[in-house]
Amino acid sequence: MTYTEAAAWLRGHDRYLILTHKRPDGDTIGCAAALCRGLRGLGKIAHICPGTGETHLFTPYLEGLLAPEGYEPESVVSVDIAARGLFTDAGRPWLERGIDLAIDHHPSQEFFAKETCLDAARAACGEILYDILAELGQINGETAVPLYVAVSTDTGCFQYGNTTGNTHRVAAALMETGLDVFPLNKRHFRTKTWARLQVERLIVERMHRYEGGKIAVAPVSLSLLEEAGATEEDMEDIAAFLGQMAGVETSVTLREQEDGACKISLRTSGGLNATKVCALLGGGGHAAAAGCTVPGSLERAEAAILAAIRQVEADG
């Protein structure tokens, strides 16, 4: 379905339920909130499926939009959900009854819905929602905030490599509605909890460096988390932390698990294939970001991943 067809479809139906993906991010939450507000702006009944599982960071965008108990929709739309396995517990029954329209930007889209509006060239699903809502005349103060959250969070505030000219064009158009982006940017990109700062401090204190600083390893023990007073919510994207250090080409974050195993996250920027390294330890991922889980202590995990890195380096 094209944007225009998706817009026409949305105009032609009513009583919407909007589904987000599990472990939600700003893109799925922002798209759901923008679509919900846009449909209401057209005079439709629209709600977001509760049980999104969002963190406190995203809660405000859902205020007043969650479906009341017993709500019976006629049209079910998923946003930013690529695969059947990514539905929430509350969303899964709707998958079984049938999704009417899936709006998505993932190349891995499984085409589980009756109709799909997919554009894999977009950095954020929010860029697709922007085009659809623009077609519906629903770009305004109500929809600009969640759309900006969607687009900015999925691109690391326009810093990641997925950012395109279109991403900036959408941001420009949203700002021209009068949107004040500074509080949103502060909230999503310029705020760290006390506990997060402690985690980063302890990582800097305890990291190991190899090969003249090209490889950096952060061993994150359960006791480090306790010392920092950190919960899982404080650990978001921690695997990227050491990769920002000047000179580091390969960064490894080791997370001690309750069951005695270690989760390893590997990030590379110097040409080393992270997937090949992690495959040697039974894991996988992308060329620049991969992971695996190995049994045993942090020390054993560190030795194992260093050996794997060296083997892949030696194989050229």
Please list, in sequence order, all residues whose beta carbon lies within 8 angstroms of the beta carbon of residue 91, skipping any fewer than 6 positions away. 19, 20, 22, 49, 51, 78, 81
Of the residues 2, 4, 59, 159, which one makes contact with its own copies according to CB under 8 A: 159
Cβ(106)–Cβ(82) below 8 Å? yes
Pairwise CA distance, residues 310 & 316, whole Å: 10
The two tokens of residue 183 are 């509080």
Cβ(253)–Cβ(224) below 8 Å? no
Of the residues 63, 70, 182, 226, which one makes contact with its own copies according to CB under 8 A: 182
What minimum distance in Å lies between the beta carbon of 194 and its own copies?
Answer: 6
What minimum distance in Å lies between the beta carbon of 165 and its own copies?
Answer: 4
Residue 134 engages its own copies in binding (rule: CB under 8 A): no
Residue 75 engages its own copies in binding (rule: CB under 8 A): no
Residue 200 engages its own copies in binding (rule: CB under 8 A): yes
Which residues in the 2-41 window bind its own copies by CB under 8 A? none
Amino acid, res. 41: G
Pairwise CA distance, residues 2 & 6, whole Å: 6
Pairwise CA distance, residues 156 & 37, whole Å: 24
Scanning 58-66, 109-117, 179-187, 308-316 for contacts with its own copies by CB under 8 A, the matching segment is: 179-187
The b/e string for 15-27 (b: 16+ C-beta within 10 A; e otherwise) is ebbbbbbbebbbb
Cβ(265)–Cβ(253) below 8 Å? yes
Of the residues 194, 270, 284, 307, which one makes contact with its own copies according to CB under 8 A: 194
| Beta carbon nearer to its own copies, 51 or 60 | 60
State residue 104 phi and psi, 5-degree precision.
-155, 165
Rounded-to-10 torsion of CA 291, 188, 29, 11: -130
Q: List the beta bridge partners of residue 48.
A: 18, 66
Of the residues 226, 232, 237, 244, which one makes contact with its own copies according to CB under 8 A: 244
Residue 287 engages its own copies in binding (rule: CB under 8 A): no
| Beta carbon nearer to its own copies, 45 or 57 | 57
Of the residues 158, 227, 249, 313, which one makes contact with its own copies according to CB under 8 A: 158
Residue 166 engages its own copies in binding (rule: CB under 8 A): yes
Scanning 8-16, 47-55, 117-125, 195-203 for contacts with its own copies by CB under 8 A, the matching segment is: 195-203
Chain positions contacting its own copies, by CB under 8 A: 157-161, 163-169, 171-173, 175-176, 180-182, 185-186, 189-194, 197-198, 200-201, 204-205, 213, 243-247, 269
